[in-house]
Amino acid sequence: MKFLSRGWKKTAAAAAALLLLSSSMFALTGCAPGEAKSGASSSAAVQAEGQLKPGTAYVKRDPSVTYSVPEGVSVLMFHMIGDIPNNAAVETEANLRLQMNYLRDHGYHPITMQELYDYVTKGAALPEKPVCITFDDGYLDSYTIVYPMMKEYGFPWTLFLITDDVGKPYNRMTWDQLKEMADSHTVTIANHTLSHPKLHNLATAKEKEKEIVEANEALKYHLGIDNAWLAYPYGDYDDQVVEICKKAGIKMAVTTDSGRVHVGSYPYELKRVYIGNDISLARFSERLNKDNYTPV
Ligand SMILES: [Zn+2]
């Protein structure tokens, strides 16, 4: 949830108009975006080993996959995976597997943060039936359950990590485990702040800056990551937080506000689509495709 002014809206609308204009110009000249084509996009192209950026997911897709500019993309939001009764947001491993089976069996193509960024800001083409998979916080199950499962399906995903929680005894990962994940290039590891506060509640800009900048520094120090992506804890932010993100090299940030993202969406307040045990497969399917999906 955003606090304070909404001054960005004008800029976002202008950007969307520009994007629309430029995509129609492309259409006139007969080249992408907007035009379906085959083959991996440049950002998805598999680079030579050693050129891969640490902590960044790369995906090798079948060259027959068709690319086009979709009407919208669902950025799926997951948290903990496990068995905690009466907490629908903690999804069971069995339900996660059912959903990943659904994606595979229905021809969905999970995309990376870079692909999402290129889509939102430049109207870049995406593989058919795109979806973006994100997990917040950095629970141990992101290493023990999610990491091997996504590898098995060949799905790139993104982990938004609370860096000060790494190594804590209860249900958290170690930096060694994160390093293994970062070096696998199957997951993008990104910023979910140092300690997971409600950012707009922090008294000073300095405190907000510390949460964002020092988490980026931890990602760089421990994992070698030059991070450009962030998830606001509790989806909570304000204009000052967005300015701090921009200065810290964050290019795109996701909220917990419910909805899908589109070409021209303001990259510092991208909506996400909640997924949990209370989302049946029928509702899951709806959430992959429809802007006005049924609320929980
Ligand atoms: Zn969180």
How many angstroms from the chain centroid is the CA of residue 111? 9
CA-CA distance, 172 to 165, in Å (whole number)? 7
CA-CA distance, 106 to 101, in Å (whole number)? 8
- Scanning 224-265, the segments in alpha helix (DSSP H) are 239-247
> Tell me, what's the pLDDT at 3?
81
Distance 229 CA to ligand 1 centre (A): 14
Q: Specify the range with the lowest mean pLDDT, choosing from 23-27, 171-175, 214-218.
A: 23-27
Distance 195 CA to ligand 1 centre (A): 10
Residues 167-202: b if buried by 16+ CB within 10 A, e if exposed: eeeeebbeeebbbebbeebbbbbbbbbbebeebbeb
pLDDT in tens, 77-110: 999 999 998 899 999 999 999 999 999 999 999 9
Residues 6+ apart with CB under 8 A from 42: none
Does residue 9 register a pLDDT over 50? Answer: no
One-letter amino acid identity for 284?
F
Distance 36 CA to ligand 1 centre (A): 36
Strands 2-3 and 109-110: unpaired
Mean pLDDT value across residues 68-85: 96
> Tell me, what's the pLDDT at 90?
96
Does residue 7 register a pLDDT over 80? Answer: no
Query: Angle at CA 27, nearest 5°, toward 26 and 33?
Result: 65
Largest Cα separation within the chain, whole Å, is: 58
Q: What percent of the chain has pLDDT over 90?
A: 80
Residues 6+ apart with CB under 8 A from 62: none
The position carrying tokens 């999804």 is 91
Q: Which of 57, 261, 250 is nearest to 146 (CA)?
A: 57
In degrees rounded to 5, what are phi and psi of residue 62?
A: -55, 130
Does residue 30 register a pLDDT over 80? Answer: no
Distance 172 CA to ligand 1 centre (A): 13
Q: Give the pLDDT band (50/70/90) at residue 50.
A: low
Q: Specify the range with the lowest mean pLDDT, choosing from 15-24, 34-43, 109-118.
A: 34-43
Distance 256 CA to ligand 1 centre (A): 9
Q: Give the pLDDT band (50/70/90) at residue 283.
A: very high
CB neighbourhood size of 220 (10 A): 14
Distance 230 CA to ligand 1 centre (A): 11
Q: Average pLDDT over the chain, rounded to whole?
A: 88
Mean pLDDT value across residues 217-243: 98
Q: Specify the range with the lowest mean pLDDT, choosing from 6-20, 132-146, 232-246.
A: 6-20
Does residue 14 register a pLDDT over 80? Answer: no
Q: Give the pLDDT band (50/70/90) at residue 49.
A: low
Does residue 180 register a pLDDT over 50? Answer: yes
The position carrying tokens 């950002």 is 43
Question: Could you tell me the CA-to-CA distances from 145 to 183, 264, 281 in Å, in that order?
Answer: 17, 34, 20
Distance 259 CA to ligand 1 centre (A): 18
Distance 197 CA to ligand 1 centre (A): 9
CA-CA distance, 130 to 216, in Å (whole number)? 28
pLDDT in tens, 113-146: 999 999 999 999 999 999 999 999 999 999 999 9
Does residue 34 register a pLDDT over 60? Answer: no
| Structural domains for the chain | 67-289 (3.20.20.370)
